[in-house]
Copies of this chain bind each other. A is one copy, B any other.
Amino acid sequence: MPKINKYVDIDTVEREAKKDYIDRHSPFIHCEDNATKGEPFAVTVKMGNEYSHPDDFDHYISSISLFNGETLLAKAEFMAGALGNEKGHQTVTFNVVPTGKLNLVAHAYCTKHGVWESDPVAVAVN
């Protein structure tokens, strides 16, 4: 309490409504597999892969946080209406400078359905 909802591969989920529920609430990390030590490395976190989330005043994605292991790197906060009050994929691109290998994980917060955690993404750093 609060529950940290974790992404489940929706291909393993039968009910269409549940696939939609899980996918639209899950942050997905998009980045290269390899980074260069000391160079800026773009990490995009996008909500939902196949399904989009409302941007209603009483139901929206209000934040996305990016962690490296236990360490918070950056957090974005969104105001309701920033997606035009239409369904969409809230998306932010951070640029981090790695000093060693990265174990990225993202958290997102939906104002109705709480905290959601992405699958982790390991990035090799040369």
Contact = CB atoms under 8 A, between A and B. Distances in A.
Contact of A74 (B40, B82, B97, B120): B82
Interface string A87-116: 011111111111100010101010101110
Interface residues of A, number: 51
Contacts of A72: 2, 62, 79, 109, 111, 114
Interface string A71-92: 1111111111111111011111
Interface of A: 1-4, 38, 40, 44, 55, 57-58, 62, 67, 69-86, 88-99, 103, 105, 107, 109, 111, 113-115, 120
| 10 closest cross-chain pairs (CB), A and B | A70-B114, A84-B97, A93-B93, A57-B57, A57-B58, A83-B97, A91-B95, A73-B82, A76-B76, A2-B70
